[in-house]
Amino acid sequence: DAMVIQNPRYQVTQFGKPVTLSCSQTLNHNVMYWYQQKSSQAPKLLFHYYDKDFNNEADTPDNFQSRRPNTSFCFLDIRSPGLGDAAMYLCATSRAFELYNEQFFGPGTRLTVL
Amino acid sequence: KQEVTQIPAALSVPEGENLVLNCSFTDSAIYNLQWFRQDPGKGLTSLLLIQSSQREQTSGRLNASLDKSSGRSTLYIAASQPGDSATYLCAVKENTGFQKLVFGTGTRLLVSP
């Protein structure tokens, strides 16, 4: 089945220790998104890739970076995680500018920072 | 700046009851509106997507309506079941710039047997 896959599902890191979260998709969608969702809050867009073009949200901290080596994969790098970065990280994909333009989400990675 | 509000924040109903979840948004210049379901600790599952030109969409026991001019959408769940217990989020896709999704904080639904 075509889908969005995130690894790992649960990640524990130490304060200040870099961590990388992974997302892959078999939908062949040209847009990939990373959202941060803290407990009982709405998902918040961090950035997205439209093909190879990277688009950062204005209020995304510099501590968060992303890489998209090819259409299928996208990575979220947190350079120096703080306690406030503990959250669920959601990856999503879509086809840009199609009529229905639906976003499809992965299962998420829950990040714990000790 | 687009803001999305969902009321109520939490809802508890007995099995079999019909219920309505509400979503309101401040800027009517939207491309579409999407309803999602989120189980505890899990990702988002898309339930229904309504284009800005549409008034409603139906899937099984779910019916979503959209009144763009008044900035409102409702999700109607018929004959609720315990398996419907989850958080329901609505999100609007803005009709400007890159058309990003703006989410509400969700309604946490509990259906008791």
User: For A30, left (φ over 0), alpha (ψ -120 to 50), or beta?
Assistant: alpha
Is the confidence at residue A11, as pLDDT, over 90? yes
> In this predicted structure, what is the pLDDT of residue B1?
86
Q: What pLDDT was estimated at residue A97?
A: 63
Average pLDDT of the residues in A93-98: 78
The answer to whether the CB atoms of A40 and B105 lie below 8 A apart is yes
Which tens digits make up the pLDDT trace of B49-87? 999 899 999 999 999 999 999 999 999 999 999 999 999
Say how many Å lie between the first and final Cα of chain A, rounded. 36
| Distance between CA atoms of residues B104 and B5, nearest Å | 5
The C-alpha of A18 sits at a distance from chain B's nearest C-alpha, in angstroms, of: 23
Cα torsion at A49, A50, A56, A60 (round to 10°)? Answer: -50
Q: Would you state the pLDDT for residue A105?
A: 92
CA A71 to chain centre: 14
Read off the pLDDT of residues B15-25 as tens digits, 9 standing for 90 and up: 999 999 999 99
The pLDDT assigned to B31 comes to 87
Closest Cα of chain A to B46: distance in Å? 7
pLDDT classification of A96: cutoffs 50, 70, 90: confident
Percent of chain A with pLDDT over 90: 79
* pLDDT of res. B94: 82
CB contact B49 to A (< 8 Å)? yes
Q: What is the mean pLDDT of residues B35-60?
A: 92
Q: Which of B34, B98, B103 sits opposite A42 (nearest CB)?
A: B103
Cβ distance B93 to A101 less than 8 Å, yes or no, reads yes
Q: For residue A25, which of A97, A93, A75 has the smallest C-alpha distance?
A: A93
Bridge-based pairing of strands B30-38 and B44-51 is antiparallel
> Which residues in chain A are contacts of B100 at CB distance < 8 A?
45, 48
The overall average pLDDT reported for chain A is 92
Q: How far is CA B28 from CA A43, B52, B106, in A?
A: 21, 9, 19
- The string of pLDDT tens digits covering residues B88-109 is 999 998 876 666 789 999 999 9
Question: A11 and chain B: CB distance < 8 Å anywhere?
Answer: no
Residue pLDDT, tens place only, A35-80: 999 988 999 999 999 999 998 988 999 999 999 999 999 999 999 9
| Average pLDDT of the segment spanning A96-105 | 74
What pLDDT sits at residue B44? 92
pLDDT at A79: 96
pLDDT(A99) > 60: no
Residue A103 has pLDDT above 90, yes or no: no
pLDDT digits (tens, 9 = 90+) for A75-86: 999 999 999 999
Contact A42 B105 (CB under 8 A): yes
pLDDT at site B77? 97
A29 interface with B at CB cutoff 8 Å: no
The conformation of residue A14, written as its DSSP 8-state character, comes to: -
